[in-house]
């Protein structure tokens, strides 16, 4: 005898109602809710380093940096998720009637983990590509010095790889640059390089 697991499908409204009451964050994709995993100390250090460096460089400009507690709605696909870091210059736009859900980032960065790397590179990136305001997407390794920057060039995405701790990532969409040394500050594998 075989058994099948039946997963309940939710509407976006049901998801948002549950999410506002939940003790943990979840992602919503095509009617299904998936709990988001916790992060490692390395992941947290990199995300905080990167967001802090971007924020310092945008100070005094009409720009915002958001960390993983701000929800994103990918309007064309209906995905609700929490990127590690999002930023934009200009007016923030939110989902109709929901000032907790951003819709127009110009830059998104995800810190890779073994459990999310394939998703961040694949299905999630495909969703992110449909955000018309998105100009740059970064994948930041948490266990070695490696930042991959994808920049929108018309309908295509151009990939640039940074592996040398002495390099600087230029964020065209935000008009600033972040040294890899600052992104990886405090991590043993990056010290002394």
Radius of gyration of the chain (CA): 17
- Mean per-residue pLDDT for 56-69? 96
- Mean per-residue pLDDT for 126-146? 97
pLDDT at residue number 38: 77
pLDDT at residue number 193: 55
Asked whether residue 1 carries a pLDDT value surpassing 90, the answer given is: no
Percent of the chain residues past pLDDT 70, beyond the cut? 96
Asked whether residue 125 carries a pLDDT value surpassing 80, the answer given is: yes
Q: Which CATH architecture has domain 40-190?
A: Alpha-Beta Complex (3.90)
Q: How far apart are CA 168 and CA 178, in angstroms?
A: 5
Q: Could you read off the pLDDT of 138-150 as tens digits, one per residue?
A: 999 999 999 999 9
Asked whether residue 52 carries a pLDDT value surpassing 60, the answer given is: yes
Q: Would you say 135 and 107 are in contact if contact means Cβ atoms under 8 Å apart?
A: yes
Q: What is the dihedral of CA 80, 84, 89, 92, to 10 degrees?
A: 30
Q: Could you read off the pLDDT of 150-172 as tens digits, one per residue?
A: 999 999 999 999 999 999 999 99
């Amino acid at each position: 005898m075989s058994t099948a697991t039946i997963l309940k499908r939710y509407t976006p409204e049901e998801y948002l109602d549950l999410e506002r009451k939940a003790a943990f964050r979840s992602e919503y994709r095509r009617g299904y809710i998936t709990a988001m995993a916790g992060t490692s100390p390395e992941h947290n250090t990199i995300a905080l380093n990167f967001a802090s460096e971007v924020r310092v460089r945008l100070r005094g400009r009409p720009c915002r940096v958001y960390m993983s507690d701000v929800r994103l709605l990918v309007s064309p696909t209906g995905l609700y998720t929490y990127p590690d870091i999002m930023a934009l210059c200009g007016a923030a736009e939110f989902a109709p009637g929901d000032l907790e859900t951003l819709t127009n980032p110009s830059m998104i960065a995800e810190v890779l983990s073994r459990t999310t790397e394939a998703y961040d590179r694949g299905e999630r990136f495909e969703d992110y590509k449909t955000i018309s305001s998105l100009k740059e997407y970064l994948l930041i390794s948490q266990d070695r010095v490696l930042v991959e920057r994808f920049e929108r060039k018309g309908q295509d995405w151009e990939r640039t790889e940074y592996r040398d701790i002495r390099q600087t990532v230029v964020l065209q969409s935000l008009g600033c640059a972040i040294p890899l040394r600052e992104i990886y500050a405090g991590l043993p594998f990056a010290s002394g390089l």
